[in-house]
Amino acid sequence: MPEHDSFPISNRNRLRRRHERGRFDRATVYDILDSAMVAHIAYVIDGQPYCTPTGFWREDDRLYWHGSSASRMIRGQSAGVPVCVTATHLDAIVLARSGFHHSVNYRSVMAFGTAEVVTDVDEKLRLMDGFVDRLYPGRSREIRPANAQEVKATSFVVMPIDEASGKIRSTHVSDDEEDYDLPIWAARIPVRQVLGEAEPCPRQLAGLDVPAGMRGYRAERPLDETLLEAYRLHYPE
C-alpha cells in the first residue's frame, strides 16, 4: 500500500509496545471505524477529561458526531478543541495458562484531531441526512424531513483526522512455551454483537413493508458486518 494511504505516525499515535498489533493504513483504520455505531470521545473541559459514548461516522478523513446543542460535550467542543475518538470491537476472550497471558481479541482505532461545531445550515442539513443514510441506506428520503426547530436543536461536530492508529489482536491463546504442558484448561471464546428481530413500533400503520435499505439488518447478523455493508451502500467507492 502506498505511503500516502497510511496515517502519519507521531508521538501521539505511535505504539509504545505490542508493535505487531499496530495498523496505520487507511484501509484497516477505515474498516474498523465504519463497522462501529458508537465511539467514545475524550475531551477536556477546565482540565477535567470526559469520555462520552456517542454515535458517529466517517467521511473521507473526517469524523462526525452530533448532540443536543445544549449538551456539555457540544458546548465544550464548539471552540475547536483537541479530542481523541476511539472505536472498539470486542471479538473474543482468551483464557491462557497464566494470568499474565489472559487477553481479549479486539479491533480498535484511536483517532486524534481538533473538533469544532459545524455552523453552516446547509452543511448541517446535509449531515443530518448523511448520518441517517450512512446507517440505514436511503432512509433520509423515506422519513419526515427535519424542521427548523430540530435543525437548531441539533449540533454536529467535525473532526478532521490528523493521526490515527488501529490495533488488532486476532490470534489464539499465546502462552509461554514451558506452560503449554501444564494441565490447565485454556481457550478462546468468541464474542459477537448481533442484531435481534425487528420490533415494529406498536403504533405502526398497517401494511407497511420493511424498507429495501433495511434488508441488511437481519436477525442474528453481526452488527459490525451489517454496518460496514450499509456504509458501502451509502458511500460506494
Site residues (CB under 8 A) for a second copy, limited to 44-63: 44, 47-53, 55
Instruction: Please report whether residue 170 would count as binding a second copy according to CB under 8 A.
Output: no
Considering only residues 9, 118, 146, 233, which one is a binding residue for a second copy as defined by CB under 8 A? 146
Q: What is the DSSP string of 107-132?
A: EEEEEEEEEEE---HHHHHHHHHHHH
Instruction: Please report whether residue 96 would count as binding a second copy according to CB under 8 A.
Output: yes
Of 218-237, binders to a second copy (CB under 8 A) are 223
Question: Least CB distance from residue 100 to a second copy, whole Å?
Answer: 4
Q: Is the Cβ–Cβ distance between 7 and 29 less than 8 Å?
A: yes
List C-alpha distances in Å: 150 to 78, 113, 121: 18, 28, 12
Instruction: Please report whether residue 183 would count as binding a second copy according to CB under 8 A.
Output: yes
In the complex with a second copy, the residue whose CB is nearer, 1 or 102, is 102
Query: How far does the chain reach from its first CA to its final CA, in angstroms?
Result: 17
| CA pair distance 169, 25, nearest whole angstrom | 16
Residue 26, φ and ψ in degrees, nearest 5 = -60, -40
Question: Least CB distance from residue 129 to a second copy, whole Å?
Answer: 7
In the complex with a second copy, the residue whose CB is nearer, 117 or 128, is 128
Binding residues for a second copy, rule CB under 8 A, total 97
Instruction: Please report whether residue 124 would count as binding a second copy according to CB under 8 A.
Output: no
Q: Are strands 38-45 and 48-59 parallel, antiparallel or unpaired?
A: antiparallel
